[in-house]
Structure 1
Amino acid sequence: MYFLNMAKISEQSIEQIRNRADIIDIISSYVELKKRGRNFFGLCPFHNEKTPSFSVNPDKQIFKCFGCGAGGSSIDFVMEIEKLDFVESIKYLADQYGVEIEETHTISKGQDITANIHEMNQNTLQIYQQNLFNEQNKSILSHLTNRGLTEDTIKKFGLGLSSTKKDFVLKSFQGKYNSKSMLSSGLFVDTKYGYIDRFRNRIMFSLFNITGKVIGFAGRAIDKNENAKYINSPETQVYNKSKTLYGLHLTKNEISKQDSAIIVEGYIDFLQLYQSGIKNIVAVSGTAFTDGHAHLLKRLTKNVLIAYDGDSAGISAAIKASYVLLKNGLKPSIIKIPDGLDPDDWVLKEGAEPFMDSAKNALSVIEFSYNKFKNGPNENVADFINETLLELAQINDDVILEINLKLLAKCTGISFESIKNNFSNIIIKKEKRDQYKKTETNVALEHLSLEDDLLMLCFSKDKKIRHEIYNNFNLNWMRGEQSKRIYKQLFVHLNSEFEPDASIILDQLDSKEDHKKLASIVFEVDKMTPSILMAKNCIRRIEHIYLKKQLEHYRNKLKNAEDSFKEDSNLILKISEIQNKMNSIKSSIA
């Protein structure tokens, strides 16, 4: 059974999902995979890379990135990419593959931190919202409605108001949750006087994950003298700002339906446009646009319109976001916003129609950035071309690349041949840098330990090898706690006629780091040519290392022993036994 998020999911339900949910099918909706040998490879969705190091093994139903170390089962992938907990991921996959899951609510409060954070966030939203609609705060509510927001919109998106008091939220949770959960939630700050509310005297915007769970908050200062206009929740077990798009939980279906997404910078921008009828929209959540944001959108559409503020900072941010989208295989365009305005002001002043007209005439990033260059102080077109080519060098899709190189030639009036030659020179330099980095990475990688070798041998197709380990290896010989945890789960499968199922073992391990470790082990199995002799030697070497440590322990004990003949004799005898055993093992290793 699996206990998470106040729920218990039956093994039968998980087994059904595991049988129906093919890992290639799941990951292909996020990553473009290409078959190479037995495995499939693509660019890792969890870190920025140019050369594919993300591998998926369809036989074992696991994935592994050799760049950042991410790895695990299809459930792990969904948890990581969608920032969901275990139960949410099971439900997510169950919905996709038409599996009915058995669930009971049995876990006690305080037992699971992730579940506690979700529960505290949901309760905090209600506390903030009740405070906003409190009669004494009607001036703040009026401020929002005067900005054009309706009460329905305010409630739908979980807007609220934090108090000036330091314990306004805190007092609701004290005694209900353990201190680790409370601090992990990001709702409180630990001071020398104890915990206090993180958000005070701010208009609060609730942040949701793609399934609609509250994962964090952003607070806008009411007092104009506040140093920080906005403060956000810190990153937690449920909130990652680089993988969160504001409003996506309610707009994802419309984005998919229209095959187009509009990105804005601010929460109010989003709310104003959504309220005016523009429903295929998201906002970045207190951060620059990232690869993680691009991956979220890529599942729904490849067509993205950027509508950032019309000032200098907004224009620069729009260009940067466009290049992030391009290198992730999407098709960005930039909407021209009137100088000095933001989308909120524009739509509030003139309605949605002018905005949508401008959207129809949105420019490519090449055209938009060239217009910016023409209106700027730098008159050297070569500088603009080289800066643009450096950005385009991040693109892996040859078709998208050629389209943009041709656009660059057209805008600048420089021949396509010259642009292409210049680009080739940049690529040669880039490849040299990438090769150097790759060599450095390979040198830094540690060789798998003997314990890793043993764990690999546990997945051997030869049952004689597995039985050799089952009958002759002692768990206590292992030094690594992680190796011990993995071996404990493997042990019961070693005496079977069939090799262990990696995806089942993964689901039985609780730690994310254990999942990564096991994925690494499984991906190395095919590189090994296992034999009974290899298994015997591996077992003996591990035991020899264990005995060496024991020998050191008893020698130290003898050294520090009090003047007792009996005790000394026992220790000397023990040391002699260990030495004999070590010599025997040493002579038996082939």
Structure 2
Amino acid sequence: MDKVSQENINNLIEKTDIVAVISEYIKVQKKGQNYQAVCPFHKDNNPSLVISPVKKFYKCFSCNESGNALNFVKNFENISFIEAFVKLSRKAGDNVDFLSNYKTKPRYSDDELRLFEINYQASKFFCAILNNEVASDAKSYLLKRGITEKDQIDWEIGFSYKEANLLSHLKQLGYSQQDAINAGIAKVYGTSVMETFVNRIIFPIKNEDNFIIGFSGRSINENSSPKYLNTSETTIFKKSELAFNINNSKQAIKKNDEIIILEGFMDSISLSKIGIENNVAIMGTALSKFHINLFSKFTKNFILFLDGDDPGVNASLKASHQLLSQNLNVKLVLNDSKADPDELIKKNGETFVKKMIENSLHPIDFAIEYFFKKFDVQKQDQFELYIENVKKTFSFIKGELFQNIALQKISNKINIPIENLKNTFGIKTVNNYNVEPKIIKSNQKINYNDLIRYKFAEESIIFYLIHNGDRLEYLEENADKINTIQHKKLMMEIIELYKQNLISKSKPEEIKKILLDKKSKYIPELDNIIAETNYVFLKSLSTGDGLEDSFSILKSRKLEEENREFFKLMSEASNFELKTNFNEVIEKNFAEVIKLRKKREKK
């Protein structure tokens, strides 16, 4: 047997203490019958994750992440379902020998694993040398750069010393010269094989699985060239796939629901030291498709904090275009200093840098500001350069609404009427920022037929409850969708009667009698629901599907009401990013309304 049956899964979930499991990863706090925690799957300030020990279930009411203990372990550790199953089964003392024939395709080949092993042994060797007196200059340099003894241990920093003879050490461990060449820590020079790194401070570079894929060596002599020397390309070390610190930061990225992309490893170390742990350095390379696919597994929100010089800005804008084209959220840090993040922290302090990150801009806002400072738009040739550069980013703005908002900002910045710019930027008509017809406008009111439909939906839910007496938990969980306070309170009163076994299903007069005895205020609403005039309509909805359809209608109503409010707020907002965020919520709500309607129509 090599499969996990549903019975196996159900048994494991039933015997697993979900609170105990989640407590091993995050701090939880008892709240009534349930437990609460700060959600680790998004940037959560207030506890949004609710854990039910009775239902063996967790749910975040902010990001909607939910599931059982298996789901939590799988998602938190970023492992496969089978791996999570085995992990929890062993913790529960279950025998998983029946999975002995289960095989997954190895992520790494034997050759790749051997290269990881060589790099690991080389890293241990480099670290040992750094603690030797021959590395005193390297130690002094690191301390001067603010890299403490603890930092050196935490980041596994080492030193390469020619006379130490790494190749001889590796040979004693059973590795050949060819193994060292394959790993990129040795090279062929003429008729000799020599070490790649000589008299350099060594920083190991790891992949997301914590394997060392290669090294970056920093010269301690400022006059040496190159200043930084990386492992040459190997089967495991590829320039387009370098992501320094991803092994440490992936959980912080998930928790913050945001990744800060840096250029160099010193930037990454410095930001991590001031508590900004959700960072990755791409080692001076361009943001690649590999990077985007890797990082977007953990978040859809990117902040680019590359160097402030022209190459850094160009790289940031190019990367932002890639991310925008993938429908990912991206902001850029406006860095006027030309210094890199590591230098900024040392010169201006952590508060200054944190504020820079906090004030990061949408790419179009960044382009408008940055190029306005760079070019003198009063001069014709530089004005043309300004327009040309801003247009590159503008072309990635989707939606007429946001194109018009961006165009208005450009118009305000260069003091040229928007009508004179629209052809240049490819905008045929300016719509005064009215949203597309599909989005509900702020002044659009619910018509009489809609009100009747919502009223009947609420009444049908209570009718279902009266005549079926089941799904009480489902009804309680969805009570907030009922807009009429009298209907909501009547429903909760009837649910309570069922819970106390005071009433039987399909006996409305019995329910009415008990509610009268309890001096309920909602007898008129009850009478209206059970009256003959509504009976035929409501009876057609008194099924499971009818109940769900009724709640679907009410959910649609809430989404439509939210959209009216969000549209009003969006119209009043002056910040482009805020307008973008409001519109995203509006479009998401609208899509959900359409989805709910289509689901009802299929039944």
TM-score when normalising by structure 1? 0.51
CA distance in 1, matches of 2:351, 2:123: 33
CA contact (8 A) 2:218 2:227 kept: yes
Provide the secondary structure at the position in 2 that maps to 1:220: strand
CA contact (8 A) 2:202 2:218 kept: yes
Of stretches 412-421 and 167-176 in structure 1, the one that deviates more from structure 2 is: 412-421
- Partner AA of 1:93 in structure 2: S
1:384 aligned residue: 386
Alignment partner of 1:273 out of 271, 288, 307: 271
Q: Is the counterpart of residue 252 in structure 1 residue 250 in structure 2? A: yes
1:585 aligned residue: none
Q: Is the counterpart of residue 98 in structure 1 residue 58 in structure 2? A: no
Structure having greater relative contact order (Cα 8 Å, sep ≥ 6): 1
2:72 aligned residue: none
1:203 aligned residue: 201
With over 3 angstroms needed to count, the CA separation of the structure-2 counterparts of 1:221 and 1:95, relative to structure 1, is farther
CA distance in 2, matches of 1:237, 1:14: 35
With over 3 angstroms needed to count, the CA separation of the structure-2 counterparts of 1:359 and 1:166, relative to structure 1, is same
With over 3 angstroms needed to count, the CA separation of the structure-2 counterparts of 1:99 and 1:285, relative to structure 1, is farther
CA distance in 2, matches of 1:377, 1:166: 54
Q: Is the counterpart of residue 365 in structure 1 residue 356 in structure 2? A: no
Alignment partner of 1:132 out of 121, 130, 133: 130
CA distance in 1, matches of 2:216, 2:335: 25
Alignment partner of 1:332 out of 321, 330, 340: 330
2:354 aligned residue: 356
Of stretches 228-237 and 133-142 in structure 1, the one that deviates more from structure 2 is: 133-142
Aligned-pair identity in percent equals 27
Per-residue deviation at 1:363? 2.0
CA contact (8 A) 2:368 2:390 kept: no
Per-residue deviation at 1:412? 4.8
CA distance in 1, matches of 2:351, 2:257: 20
Consecutive unaligned residues of structure 2, counting only runs of 5 or more, are: 10-76, 88-98, 103-108, 429-603
CA distance in 2, matches of 1:177, 1:12: 37
Which structure 2 residues correspond to residues 52-71 of structure 1 after superposition, within 5 A? Answer: none
Per-residue deviation at 1:179? 5.2
2:180 aligned residue: 182
Provide the secondary structure at the position in 2 that maps to 1:256: helix
CA contact (8 A) 1:245 1:283 kept: yes
Alignment partner of 1:158 out of 152, 156, 159: 156
CA distance in 2, matches of 1:332, 1:91: 24
Provide the secondary structure at the position in 2 that maps to 1:375: helix
Alignment partner of 2:307 out of 306, 309, 323: 309
CA contact (8 A) 1:276 1:351 kept: no
With over 3 angstroms needed to count, the CA separation of the structure-2 counterparts of 1:290 and 1:384, relative to structure 1, is farther
CA distance in 2, matches of 1:154, 1:422: 54
Per-residue deviation at 1:131? 0.8
CA contact (8 A) 2:233 2:239 kept: yes
- Partner AA of 1:98 in structure 2: F
Per-residue deviation at 1:399? 8.6
Provide the secondary structure at the position in 2 that maps to 1:142: helix
With over 3 angstroms needed to count, the CA separation of the structure-2 counterparts of 1:420 and 1:414, relative to structure 1, is same
The structure whose Rg is larger is 2
Alignment partner of 1:146 out of 141, 144, 163: 144
With over 3 angstroms needed to count, the CA separation of the structure-2 counterparts of 1:350 and 1:377, relative to structure 1, is closer
CA distance in 1, matches of 2:248, 2:101: 26
CA distance in 2, matches of 1:114, 1:400: 47
Per-residue deviation at 1:340? 4.2
Per-residue deviation at 1:390? 3.7
CA distance in 2, matches of 1:14, 1:238: 33
CA contact (8 A) 2:334 2:370 kept: no
Per-residue deviation at 1:198? 0.8
CA contact (8 A) 1:210 1:248 kept: yes
Which structure 2 residues correspond to residues 528-539 of structure 1 after superposition, within 5 A? Answer: none
With over 3 angstroms needed to count, the CA separation of the structure-2 counterparts of 1:360 and 1:422, relative to structure 1, is same
With over 3 angstroms needed to count, the CA separation of the structure-2 counterparts of 1:174 and 1:335, relative to structure 1, is same
With over 3 angstroms needed to count, the CA separation of the structure-2 counterparts of 1:312 and 1:389, relative to structure 1, is closer
CA distance in 2, matches of 1:299, 1:244: 16
Of stretches 268-277 and 205-214 in structure 1, the one that deviates more from structure 2 is: 268-277
With over 3 angstroms needed to count, the CA separation of the structure-2 counterparts of 1:316 and 1:166, relative to structure 1, is farther
Provide the secondary structure at the position in 2 that maps to 1:136: helix
- Partner AA of 1:276 in structure 2: I
Provide the secondary structure at the position in 1 that maps to 2:202: strand
Per-residue deviation at 1:321? 2.8
Which structure 2 residues correspond to residues 427-576 of structure 1 after superposition, within 5 A? Answer: none
Which structure 2 residues correspond to residues 223-242 of structure 1 after superposition, within 5 A? Answer: 223-242=221-240
Per-residue deviation at 1:324? 2.9
Provide the secondary structure at the position in 2 that maps to 1:210: coil
- Partner AA of 2:337 in structure 1: D
1:24 aligned residue: none
Provide the secondary structure at the position in 2 that maps to 1:231: strand
CA contact (8 A) 2:375 2:383 kept: no
TM-score when normalising by structure 2? 0.50
CA distance in 2, matches of 1:195, 1:15: 55
Per-residue deviation at 1:242? 1.5
Cα deviation 1:164-204 (Å, max 9, x = unaligned): 34943454236723555332211110223232111111111
- Partner AA of 1:387 in structure 2: N
CA distance in 1, matches of 2:274, 2:213: 26
2:567 aligned residue: none
CA RMSD of aligned residues (A): 3.7
- Partner AA of 2:146 in structure 1: G
Per-residue deviation at 1:14? 11
CA distance in 2, matches of 1:178, 1:399: 63
Provide the secondary structure at the position in 2 that maps to 1:286: coil
Per-residue deviation at 1:214? 0.6
Per-residue deviation at 1:253? 0.8
CA contact (8 A) 2:364 2:394 kept: no
- Partner AA of 1:118 in structure 2: F
CA distance in 2, matches of 1:91, 1:390: 37
With over 3 angstroms needed to count, the CA separation of the structure-2 counterparts of 1:395 and 1:371, relative to structure 1, is closer
Alignment partner of 1:287 out of 285, 288, 291: 285
With over 3 angstroms needed to count, the CA separation of the structure-2 counterparts of 1:214 and 1:175, relative to structure 1, is closer
Per-residue deviation at 1:381? 3.5
- Partner AA of 1:355 in structure 2: V
With over 3 angstroms needed to count, the CA separation of the structure-2 counterparts of 1:190 and 1:373, relative to structure 1, is same
Q: Is the counterpart of residue 320 in structure 1 residue 318 in structure 2? A: yes
CA contact (8 A) 1:166 1:197 kept: no
